[in-house]
Amino acid sequence: MFRLFDMLGPSAAIRALDDALRGSGVHPLLVPEPVKLTVIRLNTREDGPRNQDVAFAEASQLLAYCMLGHEQFATSNSSQDADRIDTRVEAALDDGDTLDAKLILLALHAGLIAPEIADRIDLDDV
């Protein structure tokens, strides 16, 4: 039996997010479709009319950092990128109700988060 998704292929948003994930050092097949759809929905709700490619690039970098951890992310990207994303993680953990915080929580609940990043999250605050 054919599924509609198989016949039509992935949406433009999914393809754009897949490209952003590849650019961040994570193969898109490692990220489950429900997580991708949630990332797309969160970006649409939070950012409004913002450029989709920029929003997906920023979200995929944060997601890749959460999945890979600092060292592996720095190897796949750069030390400067890893430090910049680390600062975003710290700010998200301090602020609580931001898009970045929601993406980190999504990675945590989906079981995609690296242990070193998971250890930094205080679940009492979530």
How does pLDDT run across 10-52, given as a tens digit for each residue?
Answer: 688 999 999 999 999 999 999 999 999 999 999 988 766 668 8
Q: Average pLDDT over the chain, rounded to whole?
A: 88
DSSP annotation of 120 reads: T
Domain that holds residue 64: 10-118
Encode 104-121: b = buried (16+ Cβ within 10 Å), e = exposed: bbbbbebebbbeebeeeb
**pLDDT given at position 2:** 46
**pLDDT given at position 36:** 96
Note the pLDDT tens digit of each residue in 48-77: 666 888 999 999 999 999 999 999 999 999
Residue 3 within any structural domain of the chain: no
Report the pLDDT averaged over residues 4-9: 55
CA distance 120 to 115: 9
Structure token pair of residue 7: 């016949």
**Would you call 48 helix, strand, or coil by DSSP?**
coil
Residue 123 within any structural domain of the chain: no
Residue 97 within any structural domain of the chain: yes
CA distance 6 to 20: 22
Residue 126 within any structural domain of the chain: no
Residue 113 within any structural domain of the chain: yes
In the chain, the number of structural domains is 1
Residue 46 within any structural domain of the chain: yes
Task: Report the predicted TM-score, pTM, of the whole model to 2 decimal places.
Answer: 0.87
Structure token pair of residue 10: 């992935």
